[in-house]
Amino acid sequence: MTLQEKIFDEMKKRGITQRELSEITGIATSTINDWKMRNHVPAADKIPAICNAINISIADLYKDVDCNQFPQPEVLIIPKGSIIYGMTKSMKDAKASVLDRLRDYMVNVLGMDVE
């Protein structure tokens, strides 16, 4: 399933129209229509607003989504002192499942990968 299909599937389950999604999120109806008609992928910065509008977590939105539809990001080296570096450094003793979820978030939502 593509990300767009998942969004529209969740909208249908909750009885939310494209116009209502536009009003709630501030995303233009033409942009939402492009996701459906032209199979465009929503911009990553719109995902939190979409999730809030359709009452779904980001993790649940990406569940069962074929992430091969997204261009593969280049590996990003995180500079020491950055917020992301601090987050990942402080997570060194965290459970593997927590680290996997953090990495998935960084890849899927922020569009980056971390070595």
Domain ranges of the chain: 3-68, 71-115
* Cα gap 93→103, rounded to integer Å: 15
Mean pLDDT of 84-98: 69
* SS3 (DSSP) at 51: helix
Q: Which residues contact residue 9 at a Cβ distance below 8 angstroms, ignoring those fewer than 6 apart?
A: 1
pLDDT category of residue 22 using cuts at 50, 70 and 90: very high
Mean of per-residue pLDDT scores for the chain: 82
Task: Give domain 3-68's CATH architecture.
Answer: Orthogonal Bundle (1.10)
Radius of gyration for the alpha carbons in the chain, expressed in angstroms and rounded: 16
The confidence score (pLDDT) of residue 49 equals: 95
| Contact assessment for residue 39 and residue 4, using Cβ atoms and an 8 Å cutoff | yes
Nearest to 108 by CA among 82, 71, 79, 55: 71
Tokens of 17: 């129209």
CA dihedral of 20, 21, 22, 25, whole degrees rounded to 10:
120
**pLDDT tens digits along 44-87:** 889 999 999 999 999 899 888 887 766 665 666 667 777 777 76
